Amino acid sequence: MNKILSFGLLLTLSLAVQIVSATELKRSLSIENAQVYIITPKNGETVPTTFKVVFGLSGMGISPAGFNKKFTGHHHLLIDGKTPDLLKPLGGEVKHFGGGQTEAFVTLPKGKHTLSLILGDYLHRPHNPAVVSEEIIVHVK
C-alpha cells in the first residue's frame, strides 16, 4: 500500500515538474545582460504634468506585439505600481507600446511618481529571464 502511495506521489510530482517546464519553455528567452532602462527623464527629475519618456534597450531588439521574432519584444511602462507577476502575460497594470514605440508622452497629476519598464514578448509575456528596468522617481510640478 505504501509503495503504491509513494509511486502515485512520485508520478504526481514528476507531472507537476513537467507542467512547470512546459510553461517555462513557452516563455521567450532573453539575451544574457540585455537591459531595459529609462533614458529620460532622469531619476529624481522634476517634470511638467505632460512629459516625454524615452525608453532604452540594449542587447535585444524591438518588435511590435504579435510579431514573434527571437530576442525581441515591446516596451511596457509601469507607473506607480508594484512589479507584476513576471511569469504571467502583462495586462492592464502597465501601458503597452505594442507598436514598437521607443518613447511616449505621459500625463500625470502633480506629485511624486515612479516609472519603470518591462520588456514583453509578442504575447506580452516578460522574457525568461525577465528584462526589467530600475525604477525611477519623478516629481511632477
Contact call for residue 95 and Cu ion (CB under 5 A): no
Q: Is the peptide bond before 129 cis (omega within 30 degrees of 0)?
A: yes
Smaller CB separation from Cu ion, 44 or 92:
92
Residue type, 47: V
Q: How far is CA 11 from the centre of its chain?
A: 34
119, 30 Cβ separation under 8 angstroms:
yes
Q: How far is the CB of 49 from Cu ion (least distance, A)?
A: 25
Contact call for residue 120 and Cu ion (CB under 5 A): yes
- Only one of the segments 18-26, 52-60, 79-87, 114-122 lies at the binding site for Cu ion (rule: CB under 5 A); that segment is 114-122
Binders of Cu ion in range 122-141 (CB under 5 A): 124
C-alpha distances (whole Å) from 49 to each of 31, 53, 77, 107, 139 are: 35, 12, 17, 5, 9
Contact call for residue 73 and Cu ion (CB under 5 A): no
Number of residues in contact with Cu ion under rule CB under 5 A: 3
Note the residues at the interface with Cu ion (CB under 5 A): 96, 120, 124
